[in-house]
């Protein structure tokens, strides 16, 4: 999938360059005014999309009363870190963050490894039942996540993994979508590349690990982004796979904070501070991999 | 190369051990899928046919088989369970009705605008529109609760233009009912009060989304429009500039060009976005959980949340599982419908990018 998008870009970039010039010349004033109108509309919409985040960040530095009395202001009258201090003093925010980091790291490593192994097997290695397994994986793709809430709880309870890190992590270690992405990518690498290594006597695992996998970096990065973002933001599975407060992740803990079990009433700066802090890692990931995210994974979010 | 291929087919010494490696490589993914997806679904199906109350294992011998009783309780038997399910379906129905058209139109509009060849700073605009899609649902709900407080930012803006905004997230008024109240209609006319479906009277079916549900729909549009914008953007870039150029040279205006050249070529993507939207909007769970489950007046309750509440809170596991399977079948039907729609158009599609993207989402 990455290969094809890169191709698109390669085709698009020169084309764009050649067409912009004549267009500008031919469509003088009328086009320019429509462009201006488009700009104004886009700027307005961009404000609608960004402003909520900005006033939330600002709100987290306000006092409780200022946050409710002057919600629109971008610069607090008195900048206070009280909300952040309270967050760490009155709730086990650090513990939640630790759990989230641990789970996210495990899930991400597992998915990168298992999805690429399965994708490689489905794409390259010949064994009986390969087609059947592939078709089953395609079928699994369309199982909606919310339907799995009860089944996942039942099985974790049955095998004794309920309320353990294992129960929170293992079911997320591989996804059909990830296997599918990896298989597609391996399909796009010509088999002749491995042939040399094969003739040199490199075994299957060796070829996978040191020949094919390094070539698959773009697809691996895609899997990495998807699973990091997915497991960092995961809520449903962590609601049904644990009960102990010690196993709270950021999503579960902050959700409890919001619905009032932990935080009291109108402490909006506190909630906003929690929202800001928990969004930082994914925001950083987003800005680092911005180009890749917006080109290749496209809609593959929330899968 | 030819020799290599021949050798492959014959299956010589060099390929030895390949099958074993194949099983080994695919084992983790298969085991995880089997143990944590296929088997649990079978187990949940059993629960939906049983009277298990959450005590011990659903497989212990004291759990009885009750046939379709759980399914009947929420669909055909009159009572509270049926009414709750009916209300949840109604709420979700209005949610879909609001979210799907809005998010499709908005994401298409954004994609077309951002795709303009002459636009400066489109990287910035893409980022701005897409960012809400990667943020956690918990954070977004907090932001929206803050924005839509009775004394919140949205009402502050409304006040500036002389409108008194409602107390958004706490307002259970159905907007159609609210609208009728303006004309003095506060109770149901006889016809609508008597008949009904799923234990909910026609009058209640016609309530419209509650004010709180409207906000939830805005929230959904806010978080999904960026994702779908990217789908449209990919398709627009496949169409390429030439076609549009040609239309412009022919003297077609911007609107003409959009509706008679661009839009028809976007049809496959449009179907994709519409059906993905449909599939996604029947699965709202996170937001409702964070908002405290269905309040105000149960108007935020959706089937996806109801299945959780029935089982994990009310311990009516059979009913919860039954709701899950009804939802499951419904969503699978939508998915099959989508595949059928898109298979028809396959020859017309360009580039494999789109196929991957749809595969990745569903």
Q: Number of Cβ pairs closer than 8 Å across A and B?
A: 346
Q: What is the DSSP letter of B179?
A: H
Interface test with A, best of B136, B253, B281 (most A CBs within 10 A): B136
User: What pLDDT digit, counting tens, does each position of A54-98 carry?
Assistant: 999 999 999 888 888 888 888 888 899 999 999 999 889 999 999
All residues of chain B having their beta carbon less than 8 Å from the beta carbon of residue A300 are 357, 360-361
Residue B160 lies in a domain: yes
B138/A275 CB distance under 8 A: yes
* pLDDT given for residue A260 in this prediction: 65
C-alpha B252/C-alpha B260 separation (Å) is 9
Of all residues in chain A, the one with the smallest CA distance to B362 is A142
Chain segment B58-113, per-residue pLDDT in tens? 888 888 899 899 999 999 888 889 999 999 999 999 999 999 999 999 999 999 88
- Give A3's pLDDT tier (boundaries 50, 70, 90): very low
Position A273 pLDDT exceeds 80 = yes
- Determine, for residues B21 and A121 on separate chains, whether the beta-carbon distance falls below 8 Å: yes
The partner residue sitting opposite A154, judged by closest CB among B40, B113, B135, is B40
Helix (H) or strand (E) holding B264: helix B263-265
Contact B39 A155 (CB under 8 A): yes
- Interface residue of B5, B20, B36 to substitute, partner A, most A CBs within 10 Å: B36
CATH of the domain at B276: 1.10.3720.10
Nearest chain A alpha carbon to B128: A46
Q: Is residue B250 part of a domain?
A: no
Min Cα distance A81 → chain B (Å) is 18
Cβ contact B292–A303 (<8 Å): no
Nearest CA in chain A to B59: A158
Tell me which residue range forms the domain holding B328.
Answer: 92-174+209-239+265-301+320-341
Give a yes or no: residue B213 inside a domain: yes
**pTM for this model (two decimals):** 0.85
Query: Residue B345's pLDDT is what?
Result: 53
Are B307 and A150 inside 8 Å of each other by CB?
yes
Facing residue for B245 by CB, picked from A1, A5, A19: A19
Contacts of A111 in chain B (CB under 8 A): none
Interface test with A, best of B34, B134, B165, B293 (most A CBs within 10 A): B134
Q: Look at residue B7 and tell me if it is in a domain.
A: no
Among candidates A16, A240, A299 on the partner chain, residue whose Cβ is nearest the Cβ of B360: A299
Question: What tens digit of pLDDT does each residue of B279-322 get?
Answer: 999 999 999 999 888 778 888 999 999 999 999 999 999 999 99
Q: How far is A95 from chain B (nearest CA, A)?
A: 17
Q: State which residue of chain B sits closest to A253, comparing Cα positions.
A: B138
Please count the structural domains in chain B: 1
Written as one string, the DSSP assignment of chain A is -HHHHHHHHHHHHHHHHHHHHHHHHHTHHHHHHHHHHHHHHHHHHHHHHHHHHHHHHHHHTS-HHHHHH-TT-SS-SS---HHHHHHHHHS-HHHHHHHHHHHHHHHHHHHHHHHHHHHHHHHT---TTHHHHHHHHHHHHTS-GGGGHHHHHHHHHHHT-TTSHHHHHGGGS--HHHHHHHHHHHHHS-THHHHHHHHTT--HHHHIIIIIHHHTHHHHHHHHHHHHHHHHH--HHHHHH---GGG--HHHHHHHHHTTSSS-TT-HHHHHHHHHHHHHHHHHHHHHSHHHIIIIITT-TT-
Tell me whether residue B29 is in a domain: no
**Domain-embedded: residue B159:** yes
B75 in a structural domain: no
Range of weakest confidence among A51-65, A181-195, B85-99, B246-260: B246-260
ipTM above 0.90, yes or no: no
Nearest residue on chain B to A138, alpha-carbon basis = B359
């Amino acid at each position: 999938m990455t290969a094809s998008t890169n191709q698109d870009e390669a085709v698009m970039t020169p084309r764009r360059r050649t067409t912009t010039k004549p267009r500008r010349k031919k469509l003088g004033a009328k086009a320019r005014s429509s462009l201006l109108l488009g700009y104004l509309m886009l700027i307005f919409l961009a404000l609608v999309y960004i402003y909520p985040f900005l006033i939330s960040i600002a709100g987290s530095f306000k006092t409780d009363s200022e946050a409710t009395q002057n919600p629109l202001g971008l610069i607090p009258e008195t900048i206070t870190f009280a909300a952040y201090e309270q967050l760490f003093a009155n709730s086990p925010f650090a513990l939640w963050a630790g759990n989230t980091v641990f789970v996210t790291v495990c899930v991400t490593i597992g998915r990168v490894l298992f999805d690429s192994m399965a994708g490689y097997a489905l794409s390259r290695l010949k064994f009986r039942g390969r087609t059947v397994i592939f078709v089953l994986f395609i079928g699994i793709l369309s199982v909606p996540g919310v339907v799995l809430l009860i089944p996942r709880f039942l099985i974790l309870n049955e095998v004794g993994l309920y309320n353990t890190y294992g129960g929170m992590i293992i079911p997320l270690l591989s996804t059909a979508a990830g296997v599918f992405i990896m298989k597609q990518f391996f399909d796009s690498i010509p088999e002749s590349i491995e042939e040399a290594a094969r003739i040199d006597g490199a075994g299957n695992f060796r070829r996978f690990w040191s020949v094919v996998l390094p070539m698959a970096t773009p697809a691996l990065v895609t899997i990495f982004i998807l699973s990091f973002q997915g497991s960092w933001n995961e809520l449903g599975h962590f609601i049904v796979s644990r009960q102990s407060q010690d196993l709270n992740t950021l999503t579960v803990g902050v959700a409890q904070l919001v619905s009032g079990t932990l935080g009291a009433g109108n402490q909006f700066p506190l909630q906003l501070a929690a929202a800001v802090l928990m969004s930082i890692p994914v925001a950083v990931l987003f800005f680092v991999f911005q180009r890749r995210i917006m080109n290749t994974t496209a809609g593959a979010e929330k899968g | 190369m030819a020799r290599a291929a021949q050798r492959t087919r014959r299956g010589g010494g060099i390929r030895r051990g390949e099958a074993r490696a194949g099983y080994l490589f695919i084992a983790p993914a298969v085991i995880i899928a089997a143990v944590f997806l296929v088997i649990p679904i079978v187990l949940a199906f059993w629960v939906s046919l049983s009277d298990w109350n959450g005590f011990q294992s659903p497989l212990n011998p004291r759990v009885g088989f009750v046939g379709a009783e759980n399914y009947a309780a929420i669909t055909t038997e009159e009572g509270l369970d049926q009414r709750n399910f009916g209300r949840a379906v109604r709420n979700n129905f209005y949610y879909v009705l609001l979210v799907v058209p809005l998010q499709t139109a908005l994401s298409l509009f954004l994609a077309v605008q951002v795709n303009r060849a002459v636009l400066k700073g489109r990287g910035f605009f893409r980022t701005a529109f897409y960012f809400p899609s990667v943020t956690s649902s918990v954070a977004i709900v907090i932001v929206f609760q803050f924005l839509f407080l009775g004394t919140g930012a949205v009402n502050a803006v409304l006040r500036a233009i002389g409108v008194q905004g409602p107390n958004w997230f706490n307002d259970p008024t159905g907007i159609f009912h609210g609208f009728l109240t303006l004309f003095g209609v506060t109770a149901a006319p006889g016809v609508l009060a008597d008949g009904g479906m799923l234990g909910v009277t026609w009058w209640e079916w016609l309530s419209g989304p509650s004010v709180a549900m409207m906000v939830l729909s805005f929230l959904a549009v806010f978080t999904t429009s960026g994702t779908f914008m990217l789908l449209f953007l990919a398709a627009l870039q496949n169409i390429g500039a030439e076609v549009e150029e040609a239309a412009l040279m022919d003297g077609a205006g911007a609107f003409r060009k959009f509706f008679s050249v661009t839009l028809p070529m976007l049809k496959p993507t449009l179907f994709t976005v519409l059906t993905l939207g449909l599939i996604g909007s029947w699965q709202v769970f996170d937001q409702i959980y964070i908002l405290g489950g269905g309040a105000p007046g149960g108007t935020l309750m959706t089937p996806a949340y109801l299945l959780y509440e029935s089982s994990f809170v009310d311990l009516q596991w059979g009913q919860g599982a039954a709701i899950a399977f009804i939802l499951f079948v419904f969503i699978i039907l939508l998915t099959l419908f989508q595949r059928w729609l898109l298979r028809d158009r396959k020859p017309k599609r360009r580039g494999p990018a789109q196929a991957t993207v749809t595969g990745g989402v569903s």
